[in-house]
């Protein structure tokens, strides 16, 4: 039954795939039966979700869709890619909306073909992260001899640039889960940097079985979510809403992060993602459409699902 | 009368302005009366133009408009910005269209606000070119203590990346004329690099009066165009076509480069250029529209204006 909590690679381009634990009642987690919600003092059975938009800063179409969703209340948290060209746009928005729940989507790959970005740290300080043309690797083949020390230099450079540009992140997560799924050394780098900046990182208990080093490295003060829901390439476009509705109807108690990818299916995003449809322009438009629909609002109310942000989680955890 | 051949700075954002010599018959050029066309062996009075699209690679909307214009034959030459995120898209196009006339638009500034890029050379090798957040300077205030040696490192890095990605440029030019108008030292860097790679650079005789170091540094084997036409912020949108028609009707003999900025007025380009209208999305759409109009084609035939590319110029010059 471990298929429902794997973080695995799939397809032509190696991607962290996703981990939908919520449909299944069975769990082999070698962890406490208490949910994060229980530990934060919520009544037993409380269902909380973070509706989290990923990849802000990557393109304008993603920034625009995220901002519209945040302002509509259909998304309540998001994270941004500092190395990407549109980061200044979303940084400016974050600066002028200091109560919004923005994290940093720590980025060490440049996974598209026609549109690319590079490190924030000087290229000669992070050579193992860059390809022969100076961009982040398109993919990590057998980890490409990635040097953990260089990852640390790069992560710190990304956080420092964000801070310098007026962004005060509420959390950290890892673009394509690269720093989560590639072994203890890289995860420990991310965790050390997070601790230094006193920021929570997005991890959840469902990942522990396949990646036991996560649990080994995390301490009692680290926030660990209960579940993650994210849509998979196997879901056909016409089943998009069904997938999310089913996930919400079968939601388990505790704190679940919905990792979503809203974007507008326009010229820019179509061009930027045209080499494959996974996480492409139409995919992101479908995510935007579902989470901005009345259907989503209605089911939240119907299933008594509450929204929570990373900022609220951190504040509550600090008071415990 | 020197206003018609100045390269000057203007407005809140310092920009190379434009140089329209064609309307005026008077010239104080301290140079040979022979045009480049004369020297290449064309019959006296021949009028040749390069219709040159600038800023390829900067955004997808600019790439798409340039490709459409090149394929329609309304533009016959273009240059690309290697440090920009959409460079891989246009590099791929250039690689698969090896006879197209693509140069490199050497770039040492990142002049927009919400969408930015940085150096190709490692940041710690070119600190004087970068701002406090690691992007190229938005503008050069009193030249910002730009170090010519660092400019040279960066220009070579841009050319090497282009070559490594399969682009074989036919010429070099300077984004925002930064390397042309900021004194002999920077121009000499550009010229030295161009000579090393055996590439012509875009200069024209009309600039010599205001920037005498150009003529001092150029040698007898360097190609020097006769004139440049480029539209100015002072031209109101409704006079766009009139400006170009008048320029074409009053074209002087010799080789004239039309420096134009086609782009599509879409979400991406509107967002990328929204802080000011100069060289913005609507501006670029107007350029696209005029040069893709029947009006343009007709006036070329009517005025007996011939098209020429940088590749053709170089080949002809080599045979002389």
Which letter does DSSP use for residue A278 in this model?
T
Mutate to test the interface with B, among A268, A270, A273, A274 (most CBs of B within 10 A): A268
* CA dist., res. A51 & res. A48, Å (int): 10
User: How many CB atoms neighbour CB A318 within 10 A?
Assistant: 9
* CA dist., res. B1 & res. B26, Å (int): 8
How far apart, in Å, are the Cα atoms of B168 and each of B63, B98, B261? Answer: 17, 8, 22
Contact (Cβ atoms closer than 8 angstroms) between residue B97 and residue B56:
no
- Residue B234's Cβ-count burial label (10 Å; 0-12, 13-18, 19+) is exposed
User: How many CB atoms neighbour CB B26 within 10 A?
Assistant: 7
The whole-angstrom distance between A267's CA and the closest CA on chain B is 8
More confident call, B27 vs A95:
A95
**Mean pLDDT value across residues B36-40:** 93
- Amino acid A16: pLDDT: 35
Q: What is the CA radius of gyration of chain B?
A: 18
Q: In chain B, which residue's Cα lies nearest the Cα of A271?
A: B60
- Amino acid B320: pLDDT: 77
Contact criterion met (CB < 8 Å) for B89 and A121: no
* CA dist., res. A304 & res. A298, Å (int): 10
The tens digit of pLDDT for each residue in A130-164 reads: 999 999 999 998 666 899 999 999 999 999 999 99
Q: Is B165 within 8 Å of chain A by CB?
A: yes
Which residues in chain B belong to E strands, given as ranges?
47-56, 77-80, 102-106, 172-174, 227-229, 254-260, 305-307
Mutate to test the interface with A, among B60, B86, B92, B119 (most CBs of A within 10 A): B60
Which residues in chain A belong to E strands, given as ranges?
47-56, 77-80, 102-106, 172-174, 227-229, 254-260, 305-307
**Mean pLDDT value across residues B43-70:** 98
Lowest-pLDDT choice from A73-77, A237-241, B5-9, B167-171: B5-9
**Mean pLDDT value across residues B231-259:** 98
**Number of Cβ pairs < 8 A linking chain A and chain B:** 94
**Mean pLDDT value across residues B200-229:** 97
- Amino acid A143: pLDDT: 62
* CA dist., res. A247 & res. A12, Å (int): 27
pTM of the predicted protein model: 0.91
- Per-residue pLDDT band at B4 (split at 50, 70, 90): very low
pLDDT above 90: residue B8? no
Which letter does DSSP use for residue B128 in this model?
G
- Percentage with pLDDT > 90 across chain A: 87
- Amino acid B319: pLDDT: 87
Contact criterion met (CB < 8 Å) for B85 and A115: yes
Query: Which residues of chain A are within 8 Å of residue B88 when distances are taken between CB atoms?
Result: 113-116, 135
* CA dist., res. A116 & res. A212, Å (int): 33
Question: Most distant CA pair in chain A: distance in Å?
Answer: 54
Q: State ipTM.
A: 0.90
Query: Which residues of chain A are within 8 Å of residue B265 when distances are taken between CB atoms?
Result: none
The tens digit of pLDDT for each residue in A299-319 reads: 999 999 999 999 999 999 998
The tens digit of pLDDT for each residue in A13-49 reads: 333 333 333 333 333 334 567 999 999 999 999 999 9
Contact (Cβ atoms closer than 8 angstroms) between residue A18 and residue A7:
yes
Give SS3 for A140: coil
């Amino acid at each position: 039954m471990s298929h429902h909590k794997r973080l695995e690679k799939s397809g032509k381009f190696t991607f962290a795939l996703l981990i939908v634990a919520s449909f299944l009642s069975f769990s082999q987690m070698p962890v406490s039966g208490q949910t994060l919600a229980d530990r934060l003092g919520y009544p037993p059975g409380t269902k909380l979700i973070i509706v989290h938009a990923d990849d802000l800063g990557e393109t304008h179409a993603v920034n625009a869709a995220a901002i519209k969703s945040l302002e509509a209340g259909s998304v309540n948290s998001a994270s941004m890619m500092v190395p990407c060209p549109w980061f200044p746009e979303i940084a400016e928005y974050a600066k002028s909306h200091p109560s919004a729940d923005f994290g940093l989507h720590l980025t060490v790959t440049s996974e598209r073909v026609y549109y690319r970005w590079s490190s924030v740290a000087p290229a000669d300080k992070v050579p193992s992260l860059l390809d022969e043309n100076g961009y982040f690797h398109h993919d990590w083949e057998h980890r490409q001899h990635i040097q953990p020390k260089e990852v640390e230099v790069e992560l710190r450079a990304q956080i420092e640039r964000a801070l310098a540009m007026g962004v005060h992140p509420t959390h950290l997560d890892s673009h394509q889960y690269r720093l989560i799924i590639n072994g203890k050394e890289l995860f420990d780098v991310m965790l050390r940097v997070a601790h230094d900046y006193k920021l929570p990182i997005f991890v959840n208990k469902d990942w522990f079985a396949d990646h036991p080093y996560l649990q080994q490295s995390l301490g009692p003060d680290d926030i660990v979510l209960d579940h993650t829901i994210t849509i998979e390439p196997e879901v056909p476009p016409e089943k998009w809403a069904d997938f999310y509705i089913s996930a919400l109807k079968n939601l388990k108690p505790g704190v679940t992060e919905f990792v979503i990818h809203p974007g507008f299916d326009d010229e820019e995003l179509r061009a930027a993602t045209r080499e494959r449809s996974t996480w492409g322009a139409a995919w992101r438009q479908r995510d935007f459409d579902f989470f901005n629909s009345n259907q989503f609002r209605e089911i939240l109310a119907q299933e008594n699902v509450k929204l929570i942000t990373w900022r609220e989680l951190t504040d509550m955890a600090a008071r415990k």
